Structure 1
Amino acid sequence: MFNSVTLEVAIGVVAVFILVSIICAAVREGIESWLKTRAAYLEQGIREILNDREGIGLAKHIYEHPLIFGLFPGGYAPGTDIKRPSIFAKGNDLPSYIPSRNFAVALMDIAARGPATDAVSSDPNSPVISLETLRSNVMNLDNQFVQRALLSAIDSAQGSLDQAQANIEKWYDSTMDRVSGWYKRSTQYIIFFIGLFVAVVLNVNTITIADYLYRNDAERAALASWAESKSKQSPDAVLSGYSAAKDDLQALNLPIGLELVSVRNDKGEYDPFKFVALAFGWLLTAFAATLGAPFWFDVLNKLMVVRSTVKPHEKSPEEGSEDRQQKKNNGVLQVLPGGRQEQQPRALHVHNEPTPMNIRDAESDVDGCDVAIVDITSDDQLPPAEGGVA
């Protein structure tokens, strides 16, 4: 079981992980706002769901539909990656998010009225979107894979247009789940390298920090107290703010900074073991950053719960009951040959009480006095009588 020292060291390390994760996430968002990689991954997902790898067919019609075109400035330009965007792919001005309802209605509108936005498709007398219209005009999609998917959505709708739209939305959402997985993995790769860069530049070494906290009681207690105050705040207040996280990390009295990096021993010679430990500590910090600040904030709260149960137990150990203390003291210390002492149980003093004798006199049944006789005095033991009749 962890003691309070180990718990406070773990709390301090987790607090550092939270701050580093916030810094890395902020840097990642800055890169994302410049590259718009999320939009590139979304565009790739749209091309895959519509079986339009090059983005010159139905995917282009979807992005140029008024329900989608209004979500981003400029025109649609398909990405250059055919299979999957790179981790630093640029999304240009494409939208980073398309609601499933917009996609479903745009697809049904293209199937019912055609892909072009002109006077015919915009005329009030144009075909109304219905299950019959969708089925009869499904060839407007000019994509056999999507045509079959749309017919399946219509057939399973059981005559309800709303259900057909819901089926298309679920189809779209299932593909977007895959896109989210792609983007999440690419984000973890990027954050790992960002975390490694931050760990090296600021010398945030997990092993060094843990060893420092273990050896310095005052700094360990101060950092644990700071982490406890943060755990009582809302996650939004703690996990937001690059500047605040950077200031907190620098304000903590921890062994961070490149000026503290040394790979030489006491003799001034190069020590490969120190270099390995240094690199391993940096890698641990970078890996911790990939898990994200919300994950470490949840771990911090759990450690605080454990600390609240361990700390009072160490401050106020359980005392034995009075009966145990009496049993412990109920003995005599005996000195044996050789100076060895041994505690012997005390002898119990037993008071011998006279045992009543159940003797009845001859007149007990007459006068109703059934009295137990304790001692019987014989006639020889009686004192001689004085006076009386001569």
Structure 2
Amino acid sequence: MNFGAALDVAIGLIFVYLLVSLFVTALNEYISSFLNKRSEFLLQRVQSLLGGDGSETRSGDWSPQMCAVWNHPLINALKSHNLAEDHGTKRGALLKNAPSYIPGKTFAVALTETLKPSETAHLSFAQLKTAVAGIENNEPLKAALLPMLDDAEGKLDVFQQNVATWFDRAMDRTSGTYKRWIHRLTFWAGFAVAVAFNVNSLQLIDNLWRDPVARAGLVAQASQSVQGATEARDVEANLAAPAPTPAPTPAASAEGDEATAPECACDGGQSAADLAQDLPLPIGWSQEGLCALVHEPLSSLPPSKRPASACKTPYRTGWSATAKILLTLLGLAITGLAVSLGSPFWFGILQSVTNIRATGIKPDRADGTAQR
């Protein structure tokens, strides 16, 4: 087995996964923003913390504490529009106006002030304890706040910190729920993109293994992309780290400009997506590709009997057509599953594999600078 060719196939496949993952990530952000999923998960969690069961958005049965906290000026300031809302607000308008995030400290202050009697200017701890004990028809919220009062030992700021910690931990669980939803969305979006553009992993592997030109071109573009990202990160790190130096002499300045010019020069080459389209990769649907699902391949016929088009070859037998379609669906599903891992995962893998191909990372110079 040719290990070098196998490694190049892996690099090319990973690079394709990275490109599709970037596209799917942008698609996911659009879908999530269009559906207001962050706001929906946040609203459901706030309703749950304030004594609801998560169904209030549809049923319209908000607790008094939920209405008071949700319409508090500190929470309203985080909304798209400073509007008062309650169970009568339509769900679409409610989610569109709801914030995506609420700081724990802001929630704690808003909840504390909603418990303050209307005639009280400054809330004391004793008044707060009386207000919590007097909560009616909301036993879950009352049961959650009473232990925080006991733990505060008579200090209002400690109670607010306890509430903020309680809220932040609930938001961590909400974040986990949202990430699981995004993960499922990423898989189905990746599968849909793979079907739409015919990004078949099995077909890609076969094509890259058989076609050294496409394999070499894709590997070169992958290596160039990794190197460009590494150089951009190094430049960003150098700009972030203050390192004052004495003013250079004119000669030294000219020499430095000449030395740094190649690194700062813009690369006018093709983008990864453009190159992937130009390379002879089996990506995208064509009449020949569709015919290959139900017709015998041209290679199965002797050269003297091969027609001009794959669509004119004999139809596959029942088992042959079924196997071809199942393998195509399997290859598309593999792409969707791979894309669901996310672009950061594939970029990290691509860096590691390209370093292996380049015989490892060069050691730093004696002065501590990295070698190019």
TM-score by length of 2: 0.70
Verify: 1:265 aligned to 2:296, yes or no. Answer: yes
Structure 1 outlier segments of 4+, above 6 Å: 235-238
**Contact 1:111 1:138 (C-alpha < 8 Å) held by counterparts:** yes
For the Cα contact (< 8 Å) 2:204–2:282, is it kept in 1?
A: yes
Gaps of 5+ in 1: 115-119, 121-125, 239-243, 313-390
Partner of 1:40: 40
Distance 1:2 1:158, change over 3 A: farther
Q: 1:147 to 1:237 in 2, by over 3 A?
A: farther
**Residue 156 of structure 1: SS of its match in structure 2?**
helix
Task: Tell me the distance in 1 between the aligned counterparts of 2:361 and 2:70.
Answer: 60
CA shift digits 1:303-322 (9 cap, x unpaired): 1222223899xxxxxxxxxx
Q: Deviations over 1:318-343 (max 9, x none)?
A: xxxxxxxxxxxxxxxxxxxxxxxxxx
Question: Residues of 2 paired with 1:220 and 1:157: CA distance?
Answer: 65
Q: Separation in 2 of the partners of 1:236 and 1:279?
A: 39
2: CA distance, partners of 1:141 / 1:12? 63
Q: CA deviation at 1:167?
A: 1.6
Matching residue of 1:8? 8
Q: Tell whether the 8 Å contact from 1:206 to 1:281 is kept in structure 2 after alignment.
A: yes
How far did 1:206 drift? Answer: 0.7
Q: CA contact under 8 A between 1:111 and 1:137: conserved in structure 2?
A: yes
Instruction: Specify the SS of the correspondent of 2:13.
Output: helix
Deviations 1:38-94 (A, max 9, x none): 1111111111122223251122221111110121124435599xxxx9xx9993321
Match of 2:114 among 96, 110, 113: 110
Q: What are the within-5 Å matches in structure 2 for residues 82-121 of structure 1?
A: 91-113=95-117, 120=119
Task: State how far apart, in whole Å, the 2-side matches of 1:162 and 1:231 are.
Answer: 49
Whose radius of gyration is greater, 1 or 2? 1
Aligned-residue offset at 1:249: 4.4
Structure 2 CA distance for partners of 1:186 and 1:235, relative to 1, 3 Å: farther
CA distance in 2, matches of 1:20, 1:105: 44
Residue 19 of structure 1, CA deviation: 0.8
Partner Cα distance (1:293, 1:277) in 2: 25
Q: Report deviation, 1:246.
A: 5.2
Quick check: which one's helix share is greater?
2
Residue equivalent to 1:56: 62
Flag the 1:247–1:61 CA change in 2: closer, same or farther, 3 A: farther
Cα pair 2:187 2:340 within 8 Å, conserved: yes
- 1:68 maps to which of 60, 65, 75: 75
Identity %: 34
Report the CA distance between 1:4 and its aligned residue. Answer: 2.0
Tell me: CA distance 1:307–1:245, structure 2 relative to 1, closer, same or farther (3 Å).
Answer: closer
Q: Deviations along 1:146-173, whole A, 9 cap, x unmatched? A: 2232232232234543332222112111
Give the match for residue 283 of structure 2.
Answer: 256
How many residues of Structure 1 are paired with residues of Structure 2 in the alignment? 292
Q: How far off is 1:216 after superposition?
A: 1.6
Q: Which residue of 2 aligns with 1:287?
A: 337
Maintained 8 Å contact 1:39/1:95? yes
**CA RMSD, Structure 1 to Structure 2 (Å):** 3.2
Equivalent pair of 1:40/1:79 in contact (CA under 8 Å): no
CA deviations on 1:341-365 (whole Å, 9 max, x unpaired) are xxxxxxxxxxxxxxxxxxxxxxxxx
